[in-house]
Structure 1
């Protein structure tokens, strides 16, 4: 049986099925997989998401834990651009991050490319679930994100 590989469009990063944890034995079908908030007091069940999406989100959260403050700021700007698409202010910020490079991308740049591909494939509930998981890991980062989103109000 051939191993399935996922590769971003530039081919700089690759992951194979062995890089992700195995499916828990208690889950007989992907249809039965659901994510329930572990935050006390919320008690609200989130919409079910696929196992693959859940693993992608866990992967990004793992990367996030190892990123430097500068890398997290870059991720914040990318997340902000995704949250308020089409705002000129975020487009200009994104353009300032673009650089012409004559070297291979580093691991962080590959992670951001995969993050973008995965995020673009997620539905709204899955994106909200990711933000919820991120908030559980780093509430200050998410608070800063929400503040940055609010700062774009009224700006073109």
Structure 2
């Protein structure tokens, strides 16, 4: 269809420049630049710079959320331990929990294990704002899971 012109269909005719109204005097002839647009809170009047979530990251996050919806309680508990280890890296208590889930296997990984591997790869590539966005999306889907996550994070305070 590229390069084709308007074709008259059912008595309609091709648009002509005279058919469109002229631009009134004093009106900008070009739209404002996207660089000049920002997120402003109407109540505070403060400009809030926010990192945009990339399309790819958003699709990755939606994919993980889709998997999450289909996981069993045991799989969600394993995911919670993984998420906790990512949230408070270096804590001995989370490292020990993570080590307890490692097993030497002589068979191919199952779908859930592959999903966790992809999740880990994606999570490592996300920035802080994107990670927070994921937690927000997860909280919308399962507030109890996120409440348990935050409680677990708080439980690591003061522990090595």
Same-fold status (TM-score > 0.5) = yes
Larger radius of gyration: 2
**What is the distance in 2 between the residues matched to 1:151 and 1:106?**
31
Candidates 140, 145, 151, aligned match of 2:144: 140
Runs of 4+ in structure 1 off by over 2 angstroms are: 44-47
Pairwise CA distance, 1:47: 3.2
Runs of at least 5 residues in structure 1 that lack an aligned partner in the other structure: 1-30, 32-43
Partner of 1:73: 77
User: 1-side partners of 2:95 and 2:137: how far apart?
Assistant: 26
CA displacement 1:58-111 (0-9 Å, x = unmatched) = 000000000000000000000000000000110011111100000000000000
Backbone CA RMSD of aligned residues: 1.6
In 2: Cα distance, 1:143 partner to 1:90 partner: 17
Partner of 2:113: 109
For 1:57, which of 52, 61, 65 is the aligned residue?
61
- Matching of residue 92 in structure 1 with residue 62 in structure 2: no
| Structure 2 alignment gaps of length 5 or more | 1-34, 36-47
Q: Return the match for 1:47 from 51, 59, 81.
A: 51
> Which residue pairs with 1:9 in the alignment?
none
Q: Does 1:83 align with 2:87?
A: yes
Number of equivalences: 114
Cα deviation, residue 48, structure 1: 1.1
Q: Compute the displacement of 1:113 (Å).
A: 0.1
For 2:64 and 2:146, locate their aligned partners in 1 and report how far apart those are by CA, in whole Å. Answer: 15
Helix, strand or coil: the match of 2:108? coil
Deviation of 1:46 after TM superposition, in Å, equals: 5.5
Mark the CA change 1:46 to 1:140 in structure 2 (over 3 Å): closer, same or farther: farther
Alpha-carbon distance in structure 1 between the residues aligned to 2:142 and 2:107: 32
